[in-house]
Chains A and B, each alone.
Chain A
Amino acid sequence: MIHLFCALPCEAEPLIQHFKLSDIKEFDLFRIYQSKDKEISLTTTGIGKLNMAAAVSYQHACLKTSAGDIWLNIGVAGHANIPLGEARLVNKITDEHDNASWYPQIIFNSPCASTNLITLDNPSTEYQDALFDMEASAFYQLAIRLGTAELIHCLKIISDNTEQNTATVNADKVKKMIAAKIQTIEKLIGCLKPLSAEIHSITAEPKHYQHFIEKWHFTKSESLQLSRLLRQWSLCLPDVDIMPLVAENKSGKTVLNTLRESINNSEFAIHD
């Protein structure tokens, strides 16, 4: 799943339209939108760190996220000298309040340049050689508890700089700026999807696992052993049908013993 977070409705609107997202009525603390296939969701959080942190937690609770999901904070930001309308991926987030930093891991060919970002408690026009926003540090701190650094990113579009400060920014301009960078956002998602799929593939339950769990009783530790043995089975005995072998077993313990014995008795080759 892909989880998008925007502070402002005007940042969210072009994304809602592009990804054809619908409002999920049952969740009313924050507005959450979702695509028909439930692959993409978007939450409008409101301005500031507290709102963002609450929204990420809420989204996680409402939609039951998983470790291989993609998390993106998309919005506008200020910068001293990057031209208006340009997009930047964030490679370092620093919270101005306590000077703590986080480092989103850009391990793909990014569709735009990357730079550092400072999250402020209050708006400022004292521009620096860094992006300014008011949510990213909270977004990242929460999302990193739920996912992995390679799949959690902030993409910011420059809305103001030393030449044109925040006074020139309005909702309509923001919508247009975001809409103009939809392709960059699509490309970013395209870079992240294979990484997400890889995480999902390595965290997926092994074949037959659910069936075994339903048929026999396993303690928590035995469930872990079962998972490991089923994986080993698929690697060591890929052509042997597992079900007839275990069918007569009366307990989880004997199932584990049967699997272990068969694997141990198989001839092990590390290569074909």
Chain B
Amino acid sequence: MIDTIYIEEEIANHPRTLAILKRFPEATKISCQRYGEVFNSKSQNFRLQKKQPALILARKHKGLVLPSPKEYAIGAEHNYYFSHMLNCLYDCRYCFLQGKFQSAHYVLFVNYEDFIEEMQLILNQHDEEAVHFFSGYDCDSLALEPVTDFTNDFFPFFEKNTRALLEIRTKSTQIRSLLKRSPIKNCVVAFSFTPDKIARALENKAPDINKRLQAILDLQKAGWQIGLRFDPLIYTKDYAKEYSELFNEIFSKIDPDLTHSISLGGFRLPKDYFRKLEKLYPDEKLFASPQAEEKNNIGYPAEIRHEMLDFCENIITQHVPAEKFFPCHESV
């Protein structure tokens, strides 16, 4: 799976680096001073690199935990996100990471202890208030779990600090590490979904809808709280039928009591990212979708966006109480 590993000199002897390298004895190891030398170089092609991404082991120096926009909140006043990884195992055509990053290589920041220290400082700033921490903005939180051991290192912090809530955003079925342990009440495992036919067209290499649903059922059975993320909503002529079927399938099977939150939002990208993706994938139909430009973002025209959000909202609110529903009514 990983043929090449770049290693920042600074963390070459970090225990997590050594443990990961042990997993890949055959991989070619290449040392670098800073991961940006490899990852941020302009003359490289994301599409080509996606065929065989390398792993880059690095140290995150600053900006470890950052405030997240209010539109993406799921019930708390104070919201932050962090990325122990950059890039994702999957190849979803709508993913903004393809526009954000020059490289498709996976960057793993091995200094988890610094992330946790930063989270503790933030928690201390918000005395006695709930603080939500989101993981999975710049990566899929669980997709590389067997390599990253992410949950094993981050969960103790949340077990100790019940005021903090962790959202793990994923499409992965790598849930073994979660099933092996007792559920953490202040952790939400949030799965992203699009209808089956859309997922088949756009979510390359991601587990299919049934597998994701099965992972949810297994986690709920073990007592874990689940989030459902219908973001991005993808427009197609039969979207109403396809989303109805998806909602019916999911809500007929999951336990509403162990469903922490549901959110949704229309497909939209910063204009620069959208234009880059168009160039990378000129034959991709998604980028020929009806589109409008607003505030330097490109997304669906308002009419389609509102129609889709209203349609989905109507169905979702029949299944879950309003306090668990968090639509993202961001403009495109």
How would residues 37 to 57 of chain B score, 1 for a CB under 8 Å from any chain A CB and 0 otherwise?
110010111011101111000
* Interface residues in B, total, Cβ within 8 A: 43
> Which residues of A (227-272) have their CB < 8 Å from a CB of B?
228, 231-232, 235-236, 263-264, 267-271
Taking the closest CB of chain A, its distance from the CB of B190, in whole angstroms, is 24
State how many angstroms separate the Cβ of B66 from the closest Cβ of chain A. 28
Q: Using Cβ atoms and an 8 Å threshold, which residues of chain A touch B197? A: 271
Please, how many angstroms separate the alpha-carbon atoms of A106 and B28 in the complex?
10
Cα-based distance from A264 to B234 in the complex (angstroms): 17
Expressed in whole angstroms, the minimum distance between the Cβ of A248 and any Cβ of chain B is 25
Per-residue interface assignment for chain B, residues 50 to 90, with 1 indicating a CB less than 8 Å from any chain A CB and 0 otherwise: 01111000000000000000000000000000000000000
Contact A103 B38 (CB under 8 A): yes
When distances are taken between beta carbons in the complex, the residues of chain B under 8 Å from A116 are 30
The answer to whether B281 touches A202 (Cβ under 8 A) is yes
Contact A271 B201 (CB under 8 A): yes
Asked if A149 and B41 make an inter-chain contact with CB atoms under 8 angstroms apart, the answer reads yes
A150 touching B45 in the complex, CB below 8 Å, given contacts A107-B52, A114-B28:
yes
**Chain B proximity mask over A69-88: 1 for CB below 8 Å, otherwise 0:** 00000000000000000000
Bound-state CA distance A219–B198 (Å) is 37
Minimum distance in angstroms from B104 CB to a CB of chain A: 9
B28 and A91 contact, CB distance less than 8 A? yes
Looking across the interface, which residue of chain B has its beta carbon closest to that of A91? B30
Q: Kindly list chain B residues whose C-beta atoms are within 8 Å of the C-beta of A106.
A: 4, 28
Q: CA A206 – CA B287 in complex, angstroms?
A: 15
- The answer on a CB contact under 8 Å between B198 and A270 is yes
Task: Determine how close the nearest CB of chain B comes to the CB of A130; give it in whole angstroms.
Answer: 11
Contacts of B43 in A (CB 8 A): 144-145, 147-149
Complex CA distance for A271 and B199, rounded to whole angstroms: 10
Q: Inside 8 A of B204's CB, which chain A residues have their CB?
A: none
- The answer on a CB contact under 8 Å between A150 and B49 is yes
> Inside 8 A of B37's CB, which chain A residues have their CB?
101, 103
A residues 52-109 touching B (CB-CB < 8 Å):
91-92, 101-103, 105-108
A149: which B residues are within 8 A, CB to CB?
A: 41, 43-45
B283 at the A/B interface (Cβ < 8 Å)? yes
A270-B194 Cα distance, complex, nearest whole Å: 12
Q: Are A232 and B200 in contact (CB under 8 A)?
A: no
| A176–B80 alpha-carbon span in the complex (Å) | 62
Are B198 and A103 within 8 A (Cβ)?
no
Q: Which residues in window 197-211 of A have CB below 8 A to B? A: 198-199, 202, 206
In the assembled complex, which residues on chain B have CB atoms less than 8 Å from the CB atom of A268?
235-237, 288-290
A195 CB-CB contact with B under 8 Å = yes
- Residues A235 and B285 in contact, CB atoms below 8 Å apart: yes
Contacts of B234 in A (CB 8 A): 270
Render A141-167 as a binary contact track against B, CB cut-off 8 A, 1 for contact.
Answer: 000110111100000000000000000
Contact check, A236 vs B288: say whether CB atoms are below 8 A apart.
yes
Measured between beta carbons, the chain B residues less than 8 angstroms from A147 are 43
In the assembled complex, B280 has its CB within 8 A of some CB on chain A: yes
Write the nearest CB–CB distance from A197 to chain B, whole angstroms: 11
Let me know if B6 is at the binding interface, CB within 8 A.
Answer: yes
Q: Among the interface residues B6, B31, B278, B288, which one has the most CB atoms of the partner chain A within 10 A? A: B288
Taken together as a complex, chains A and B put the C-alpha atoms of A28 and B54 apart, in Å, by: 42
* Cα distance A144–B54 in the bound complex, in angstroms: 19
Would A150 and B44 count as touching, CB distance under 8 A?
Answer: yes
Taking the nearest CB of chain B, how far is it from the CB of A94, in angstroms?
Answer: 10
Chain A residues positioned under 8 Å from B4 (CB to CB): 91, 106
| CB-based nearest A residue for B278 | A228
Interface residue B286 (Cβ < 8 Å from any Cβ of A): yes
Is B48 in contact with A270, judged by CB distance below 8 angstroms? no
What residues of A have a CB within 8 angstroms of the CB of B38 in the complex? 103
Q: Once bound together, how far apart are the Cα atoms of A199 and B6, in whole Å?
A: 25
Chain B residues with CB under 8 Å of A144's CB are: 41, 43
A108 to chain B, nearest CB (A): 7
Q: Which A residues are in CB contact (< 8 Å) with B200?
A: 271
8 A Cβ contacts from A95-147 to B: 101-103, 105-108, 113-114, 116, 144-145, 147
**C-alpha spacing A232/B49, complex, angstroms:** 25
Q: B48 contacts A148, CB within 8 Å?
A: yes
Residues of B within 8 A of A269 (CB): 236-238
Q: Are B280 and A271 in contact (CB under 8 A)?
A: no
In the bound assembly, the distance between CA atoms of A142 and B173 in angstroms comes to: 44
Residue of B28, B43, B235, B281 with highest tally of chain A CB at under 10 A: B43
Q: Which 7 A-B pairs have CB atoms at the shortest separation, nearest pair first?
A: A232-B288, A271-B201, A270-B236, A107-B52, A235-B288, A149-B44, A144-B43
17 pairs of residues in contact across A and B, judged by CB atoms under 8 Å: A103-B32, A103-B38, A103-B41, A106-B28, A107-B49, A108-B52, A114-B28, A150-B45, A198-B48, A202-B282, A231-B278, A232-B288, A236-B288, A270-B202, A270-B234, A270-B289, A271-B198
